[in-house]
Amino acid sequence: MAVPAPLWQPGMRITAGRLAAKDYQAGIVTVSFTNLTSYTQRVDFPVPFPVAPIMAAEIASGSGTTGRFEARPINVGQTGFTLFVLLTDSAEGPDTWTGIPVHWTAMVPA
């Protein structure tokens, strides 16, 4: 059973649920869009966090023109975030992606 890790406090009881708790989650989002320079997609965490996590996102492909884009998490909350993919080279025009993997990681701040 995966449950979010609590922020440990002095005097808390050790329980099976707390020992199984995870303060780290990761996933892969498959991104597809047509003729855009930026794109957003809502992503929900498999298990909500007790607080908004620290996050990172990376495009896991060098296919086509993906090298001209970057990905980052925005609007991060306890239950999820918005993946924001944007073109970093303003001299280039819109692009189309089909099934490009974007990896994300989230962890409870120390």
Determine the pLDDT at residue 9: 66
pLDDT at residue 109 is higher than 50: yes
Residue 105 has pLDDT above 50, yes or no: yes
| 103/19: higher pLDDT | 103
pLDDT digit string, tens, across residues 63-85: 888 989 999 999 999 999 999 99
| Predicted local distance difference test score (pLDDT) of residue 1 | 35
Tens digit of each residue's pLDDT (9 = 90 or more) over 12-51: 677 766 666 668 899 999 999 999 999 999 999 999 998 9
Whether 88 has a pLDDT exceeding 50, the answer reads yes
- 23 versus 6: which is more confidently predicted? 23
Q: For the domain bounded by 30-107, which CATH number is listed?
A: 2.60.40.2080
Cβ-based neighbours of 105, under 8 Å, separated by 6 or more: 24, 25, 26, 55, 56, 57
Q: Which of 69, 66, 63 is nearest to 86 (CA)?
A: 69
What is the pLDDT, as a whole number, of residue 90? 75
Q: pTM for the whole thing?
A: 0.79
**Do 99 and 60 contact (CB within 8 A), yes or no?**
no
